[in-house]
Amino acid sequence: MKFLCDQMLGTLAKWLRIYGFDTFYANSTISDDKIIMISKKEDRCLITRDEELAFRCKKENIKIIHFKVVDLDEQINLVLHDLVIDKDKILSRCIICNSELSDIKKDAIKDKVPIKVFQKHEEFWFCKKCDKIYWKGSHYDKMIQKLIDL
């Protein structure tokens, strides 16, 4: 399942990426027309809190998840409740740009992460596009806990 989150759902988009779902985030520069076009073309399920946009998508037969809730945990729950999360896909995408991450050798990132992180972790991933390095740090534990809670 691929998603598209509208501009009100930036945090949700990040979390879906963390869980490994291909998620396009439509920021404020992207019009409703374009959102509809991308959803159709890339077969994405649109997630929105916008009534008007939801109405238009239904008319266009686009898969949508429409809700009013503001609470992030509730939002995640609503989106993921009947999806299977592949544990191997967790942390496989860049939370900033949605690109797939590549493995990177520990030696290669020595000067790029805090020394404590370097000493504590063995596995690292890398986004070619953003030049950002990821590891299973405290946010990873929090994320797994969140999944268990949900």
Q: Given the rule CB under 5 A, which residues bind Zn ion?
A: 94, 96-97, 99, 127, 129-130
Q: Which is nearer to Zn ion, 102 or 145 (CB)?
A: 102
Q: Which is nearer to Zn ion, 24 or 62 (CB)?
A: 24
Q: Which is nearer to Zn ion, 23 or 48 (CB)?
A: 23
Question: Which residue is nearest to Zn ion, using beta carbons?
Answer: 94
Sign of CA dihedral 110, 112, 118, 124: negative
Q: Which is nearer to Zn ion, 108 or 130 (CB)?
A: 130
Taking the complex as a whole, the smallest distance from the CB of residue 66 to Zn ion amounts, in Å, to 28
Taking the complex as a whole, the smallest distance from the CB of residue 68 to Zn ion amounts, in Å, to 31
- Long-range pairs for 45-52: beta carbons < 8 A, 24 or more residues apart: 45/1, 45/2, 45/3, 45/4, 46/3, 46/4, 46/6, 47/3, 47/4, 47/5, 47/6, 47/9, 47/12, 47/79, 48/5, 48/6, 48/8, 48/9, 49/6, 49/8, 49/9, 50/6, 50/8
Taking the complex as a whole, the smallest distance from the CB of residue 117 to Zn ion amounts, in Å, to 18
Taking the complex as a whole, the smallest distance from the CB of residue 13 to Zn ion amounts, in Å, to 13
